[in-house]
Chains A and B, each alone.
Chain A
Amino acid sequence: MTAPRLPISSALMTPPLMAILALGLAPLTIVVVWSFWSWDPSTYWIKPDLSLAGYAGILEAGRWTVIVSTLVKAFATALLCLLIAYPTAYAVHFLAGRRLSIILLALITIPFFTSYLIRSFSWRLVLGRTGVLNTWLQDLGMINAPLDWLLFSNFAVIVGLIASYLPFATFPLLLSMRRVDPTFLAAAQDLGAGFWKSLTSILLPLTMSGIFAGFLFVFVMVVGSSTEVQMLGGAGASIVSVMINDVMRVANYPLAFAISTIVLIVIFGLVLIGNRMFGLSSLFEDQSP
């Protein structure tokens, strides 16, 4: 990780660094700065009069509850994705043969080639009143009338979010498991550990960076999502992106930027905490000797 500090290498580093600054940091800085400006009715734009009106707006009309519920949805989805992705990654890496693991990986990846608009939409056909699931349940005699809560509900939103973002949890986990020598598990077993004990004392700690990366990826994707909520949520269901869209539509830019700033702070905080606690960066480092 420590590159030799030669002039030539720093010269080579300059363009990517500039690109990162221009593409990543600059827009973020602008968002944060503009969130403290004021809306100017005469130009429909903002003017550099310092104001906390944007932040005050978050406290109105229950907007803060959307931020909270978005974070809760993101947290729940990320957790559920990990619960599904961990055994999947385990099976792909430790149990399946070469060919089977390629097939499993393809099955995980292929849905990604269809647009997420279409993927979300197709859940309406599965979970709806006349959808596949309700039809089955009725055919099996388990219910008499279609279950309305399957669609246009938080349940449907979470299902859609998991389906959309599951691979974002699976791949970091696979990556981190690849870094675990299977002999570690054999050694634990050799010393008397059963399956669960070797899982909790060896595999989980050694894949913590992958677990956190997967969590973070899904979390961030959900915070930025809107399609699943719009397609699968109940009447007026909201999420941060939908709210920002509503606010942009009436040109209330400081409010939109203030909401974005709060969300950015939460995500940055999460990244920092994660890196501290779980060594996120180790996922991308060379393996120890």
Chain B
Amino acid sequence: MTQQRRPLLPQAHSNVQRRDFLKVMGAGGIALSAGGLGFASRLSAQDAATVAFWATATLDIGEKWPEFAKQSGVTPEFTDNGNDLGPVIARLAAGNANDLFDIGGFQGGAEKELARQGVIIPWDTAKIPNYESLWQWAKDIPYLKHEGKQYGIPAVVNADSIIYRPDKLGKIDSYGAIFDPKLKGRVAMEDAWINSAIFTAMYLKESENQPIADPGNLSESELGLVMEFLIKHKSDGQFRTFWNGWEQGVQLVADQEVDAMTGWEPIVYEGRKRGLQVEYAAPVEGYEGWGNNMVLLKGAGDRGVADTAHKFVDGLLGGFYGCELGQARGYLVPSDNNVVYAKAHPDEYKPEEVEKLAEHVKAKFGGKIYWQNARPDNFQLYEEWWQKLRNA
């Protein structure tokens, strides 16, 4: 659940509620939907100007899609994918997702596995003119290419670190604060290995010189090292709690339950809005970069809508989508087209704000970055260790 960037807007609840509904139905219900019944159905037949977009709920711009369609010439039918990559991959590999959807918008990391399974096909960047407008570091996100082919197009990026109270802790520039015994019971991490394992690995690699090659893709022994470290601190009562979702994150900071926690930058803004002195750290160990990448589903190729899909993704990078997502959620499409669009439409989007967001995120990616990995090689071991951590 925490893998997903919960938007600032309340409509994002629908996603949570749907997931809760599934929980009520029980594992059997989830299994059925994953196994092939499926709850998403195409509303209209395939036509040249329509694509089925199966993505994280936070990529949905809702009532702005008609404007998007006008500009790009492609109308997407948006379906929330629930954001848990395990069931998503299962529906692609064993279920009917490829019959239903053309384009996936998934958190980075699973592209390699999806390509290996043959459920996604490569993009032809030549058919995406706006691809060239992407910033170089975004093109270099490690998960986009597999065996030399382009399987992912980055559409949304940002980088996370620590939210903290400078009035209580002074300036913080290391994840060490999260594990500092002086802050026992006053810190929190996210309730998901996908974030908390990588933060810990980054700290151990950079500040304690532990032998960790890639914090985003830990080997069995590296994982053991990282998780034993977390388990030790958890058992010592270091963490007030592990948090889930936007509201809980904000509440922890706003009601002074914690003085420092790993999390999303918008929480800083929300804390300040409530009159608190809150800062976002620029840790020496670097940021955790994350991205939502577009993948082309094999079904789109089979149905001959690959060209439309390319046109759709080109539209995402065209500027309007970036401005809208930036304004609504503070998310960034890593392209200069946003600023260009805002300057051309100053009555809709404030160019200086769009530029400020772009520069701010760019600055984060100017330093050290470790990419969040939704599907590390040892992903089932991650879960096992996470259970050990929970039960420690």
Q: Are B27 and A257 in contact (CB under 8 A)?
A: yes
- Is B31's CB within 8 Å of the partner chain A? yes
User: In angstroms, how far is the closest chain A Cβ from the Cβ of B186?
Assistant: 10
A163 within 8 A of B: no
- List 22 A-B pairs, Cβ < 8 Å: A27-B26, A27-B32, A28-B28, A30-B32, A44-B86, A44-B92, A45-B35, A61-B384, A66-B390, A125-B255, A128-B257, A130-B257, A148-B240, A226-B20, A226-B23, A227-B20, A236-B239, A242-B390, A243-B390, A244-B23, A245-B23, A248-B84
The 8 closest A-B pairs by CB, nearest first: A45-B94, A62-B391, A251-B86, A27-B28, A235-B239, A61-B387, A236-B390, A44-B90
A227 contacts across to B, CB distance below 8 A: 20
Q: Once the chains bind, are B185 and A31 in contact (CB under 8 Å)?
A: no
What chain B residues lie within 8 Å of A130 (beta carbons)?
255-257
Whether A249 touches B185, Cβ cut-off 8 Å, given contacts A66-B391, A117-B16, A256-B27, is no
Given A34-B31, A246-B383, A248-B87, A65:B391 Cβ within 8 A: yes
What's the nearest-Cβ distance from chain B to residue A95, in Å?
Answer: 36
Residue of B nearest to A225 (CB): B23
Interface of A (DSSP majority class): helix
Q: How far is the CA of A3 from the CA of B287 in the complex (A)?
A: 70
What sequence of 0s and 1s flags, for each residue 148-160 of chain A, a beta carbon within 8 Å of any chain B beta carbon?
1001100000000
Which residues of B line the A interface, CB within 8 A? 1, 13, 16, 20, 23-32, 34-35, 84-87, 89-90, 92-95, 117, 185, 188-189, 191, 234, 238-242, 244, 247-248, 251, 255-257, 379-380, 382-392
Other-chain contact of A62, B24, B188, B388 (Cβ < 8 Å): B388
Q: How far is the CA of A245 from the CA of B35 in the complex (A)?
A: 17
CB–CB B385/A61 < 8 A: yes
A133 within 8 A of B: no
Q: Per a CB cutoff under 8 Å, which of B240, B384, B385, B388 touches A235?
A: B240
Residue A60 interfacial (CB < 8 Å): yes
- List of A residues within 8 angstroms of B392 by Cβ: 62, 236
Q: Majority SS of interface residues in chain B?
A: helix
Cα–Cα, bound, A266→B387 (Å): 22
Interface size band for A: 35 or more
Task: Assess the B251–A124 pair: CB atoms within 8 A.
Answer: yes
1/0 per residue, CB under 8 A from B, across A111-145: the answer is 00000010001001100111100000000000000
Residues in chain A near residue B26, CB distance under 8 A:
27, 31, 224, 260
A2 within 8 A of B: no
The CA-CA distance from A247 to B257 in the complex, in Å, is 29
A34 to B26, CA, bound (A): 14
- Cβ of B244 and Cβ of A30 under 8 Å apart? no
- Min CB distance, B37 to chain A, in Å? 11
Chain B CB within 8 A of A82 CB = no
Are the CB atoms of B256 and A129 closer together than 8 Å?
yes
Residue of A nearest to B86 (CB): A251
**Closest beta carbon of chain B to A125's beta carbon, Å:** 7
Inside 8 A of B117's CB, which chain A residues have their CB? 42-44
Cβ of A230 within 8 Å of any chain B Cβ, yes or no, is: yes
Cross-interface CB contact of B255 among A128, A226, A233, cutoff 8 Å: A128
* CA A66 to CA B34, docked complex, whole Å: 25
The answer to whether B391 and A251 touch across the interface, beta carbons within 8 angstroms, is no
Determine the chain A residues whose CB is within 8 A of the CB of B191 once the complex forms. 230, 236
The contact string, 1 if C-beta is below 8 Å from chain B, for chain A 248-285, is: 11111100110110000000000000000000000000
User: B223: shortest Cβ distance to chain A, in Å?
Assistant: 13
> Which A residues touch B389, using CB under 8 A?
236
Given A27-B32, A44-B89, A248-B86, do A236 and B242 touch, yes or no (CB 8 Å)? yes
Residue of B nearest to A247 (CB): B383
A93 at interface by CB-CB < 8 Å: no
Most buried by A among B35, B85, B241: B241
